[in-house]
Amino acid sequence: MIRLSSLTLRRGTKVLLEQVDLILHRGQRVGIVGPNGAGKSSFFGLLRGELLPDAGDFEYPAGMVIASVRQETPALHASALDYVLDGDEELRMIQREVANPAHDGVTHGDWLGKFEAVDGYSAEARASKLLHGLGFSTNDLQRPVASFSGGWRMRLNLAQALMCRSDLLLLDEPTNHLDLDAVLWLENWLSSYPGTLLLISHDRDFLDATVTAIAHLANSNIDLYTGNYAEFEAQKAEKLAQQQQTYEKQQREAAHLQKYIDRFRAQATKARQAQSRIKALERMEMISAAHIDSPFDFSFRQPASSPNPLLRIELGAAGYGGNRLLDEINISIESGARIGLLGRNGAGKSTLVKLLADDIALAAGTKVEGHGLKIGYFAQHQLEYLRVDESPLWHMQKLDPKTREQELRNFLGGFNFHGEMATGPIAPFSGGEKARLALALIVWQRPNLLLLDEPTNHLDLEMRHALTLALQDYVGAMIVVSHDRHLLRATTDTFWLVEEGRVKPFDGDLDDYKRYREQGGQAVSPANGVVDNLTGAERKAQKRQEAEARQRLAGLRKPLEKELNKIDAKLAELGKQRAVVVDALGGEEIYSEAAKDKLRDAVRQKAELDSAIEALEMDWLELHTQLEALVA
At 129-168, the pLDDT tens digits run 999 999 898 999 999 999 988 888 999 999 999 999 999 9
pLDDT for position 247: 67
pLDDT for position 222: 92
Does 169 have pLDDT greater than 70?
Answer: yes
Between strands 55-59 and 66-68, the pairing is: unpaired
Output phi, psi for 428, to 5 deg: -80, 0
Output phi, psi for 366, to 5 deg: -125, 150
Provide mean pLDDT across the span 550-566.
71
Distance CA 336, CA 308 (A): 9
CB neighbours of 608 closer than 8 A, spacing ≥ 6? none
- Which is more confidently placed, 293 or 39? 39
Can you list the positions of beta strands (E) in 25-79? 29-33, 55-59, 66-68
Number of residues written out for the chain: 632
Output phi, psi for 216, to 5 deg: -100, 115
pLDDT for position 151: 82
367 within 8 A of 311, measured Cβ to Cβ: yes
Q: What is the pLDDT of residues 198-248, one digit of tens each?
A: 999 988 889 999 999 999 998 899 999 999 888 888 787 777 777 667 767
* 197, containing H or E segment: strand 196-200
Provide, for the chain, the percentages of residues in helix, strand and coil under a 3-state DSSP scheme, each rounded to the nearest 5: 50, 20, 30
**Residues facing residue 496 across a β-bridge:** 341, 505
Radius of gyration of the chain (CA): 30
Can you list the positions of beta strands (E) in 1-59? 2-11, 14-24, 29-33, 55-59
pLDDT for position 527: 42
Q: What is the pLDDT of residues 171-208, one digit of tens each?
A: 998 988 888 889 999 999 999 999 999 999 988 889 99
Residue 544 burial (CB count, 10 A): 14
Spell out the alpha helix ranges (H) of 200-228: 204-210
pLDDT for position 285: 46
DSSP state string for 608-619: HHHHHHHHHHHH
Q: What is the pLDDT of residues 443-496, one digit of tens each?
A: 888 899 999 998 888 888 888 888 888 888 788 899 999 999 888 888 888 899
Does 550 have pLDDT greater than 80?
Answer: no
Does 545 have pLDDT greater than 70?
Answer: no
Task: Report the amino acid identity of residue 34.
Answer: G
Sheet holding 338-342, edge to edge: 375-378, 449-453, 477-481, 338-342, 494-499, 502-506
* pLDDT tier at 263, thresholds 50, 70, 90: low
Provide mean pLDDT across the span 545-558.
65
| Three-state DSSP class for residue 508 | coil
448 within 8 A of 479, measured Cβ to Cβ: no
Does 51 have pLDDT greater than 50?
Answer: yes
The DSSP 8-state label assigned to residue 305 in this structure reads -
Nearest to 98 by CA among 90, 55, 508: 90
Which of 425-434, 470-479, 543-552, 581-590 is the least confident region? 543-552
Task: Report the amino acid identity of residue 380.
Answer: Q
411 within 8 A of 404, measured Cβ to Cβ: no
177 within 8 A of 154, measured Cβ to Cβ: yes
pLDDT for position 555: 66
Q: What is the pLDDT of residues 266-295, one digit of tens each?
A: 555 445 545 555 655 554 444 444 335 557
Distance CA 81, CA 159 (A): 10
Does 69 have pLDDT greater than 70?
Answer: yes
pLDDT for position 532: 47
- Which is more confidently placed, 375 or 600? 375
* pLDDT tier at 70, thresholds 50, 70, 90: confident
- Which is more confidently placed, 544 or 313? 313
Residue 279 burial (CB count, 10 A): 9
Q: What is the pLDDT of residues 360-380, one digit of tens each?
A: 889 899 999 988 899 999 887
392 preceded by cis ω (within 30°)? Answer: no
pLDDT for position 6: 92
Distance CA 176, CA 64 (A): 27
Which of 285-299, 383-397, 422-436 is the least confident region? 285-299
Distance of CA 386 to the CA centre of its chain: 22
Residue 96 burial (CB count, 10 A): 10
Tell the burial category of 252 from Cβ atoms under 10 Å away from its Cβ (0-12, 13-18, 19+): exposed
309 preceded by cis ω (within 30°)? Answer: yes
Measured distance between the N- and C-terminal CA atoms of the chain, rounded to whole angstroms: 50
Does 307 have pLDDT greater than 50?
Answer: yes
pLDDT for position 622: 75
Distance CA 541, CA 440 (A): 37
The percentage of the chain sitting over the pLDDT mark of 90, rounded to a whole number, equals 28
Average pLDDT, the chain: 83
The percentage of the chain sitting over the pLDDT mark of 70, rounded to a whole number, equals 85
